[in-house]
Amino acid sequence: MKTGGIDSGRIEAMIAQLKAAATRPTAALPELPTLSGTQPATKVNFSDALQGALASVNADQQKADALGKSFSAGDDKVNLSEVMISMQKASISFQASIQVRNKLVSSYHEIMNMQV
């Protein structure tokens, strides 16, 4: 009997081949090389990572503030370009931390609105 141009005997033979292939044991996978002398990766605590990032943002802000005060006091060792670059770095790191905070807050709200 033909079904849509394909003989049903051929279909049954293909199904039998697939079943036979599925029941055959697969060849053993090659052993993965182990890295000798390496330490397992240290786990990073989320709160520690967040605290470190905020400390870095704070340090950038303080450095920019100190350079700005030194420049405005007339310190010859501080260039205007150094002050501007430092202020931009502080601004960018602060804006990035605000974006991370906003994403965390929106994720929290999304989780709290999930139905259990």
Q: Where are the beta strands (DSSP E) in the chain?
A: 2-3, 6-7
Give me 86's structure tokens.
């430092």
Q: Which helix (H) or strand (E) holds 34?
A: none
Q: What is the pLDDT of residues 80-114, one digit of tens each?
A: 999 999 999 999 999 999 999 999 999 999 999 99
pLDDT higher at 4 or 17: 17
In whole angstroms, give the CA distance from residue 76 to residue 66.
14
Q: What is the pLDDT of residues 18-73, one digit of tens each?
A: 887 777 766 655 676 666 666 777 888 889 999 999 999 999 999 999 999 999 99
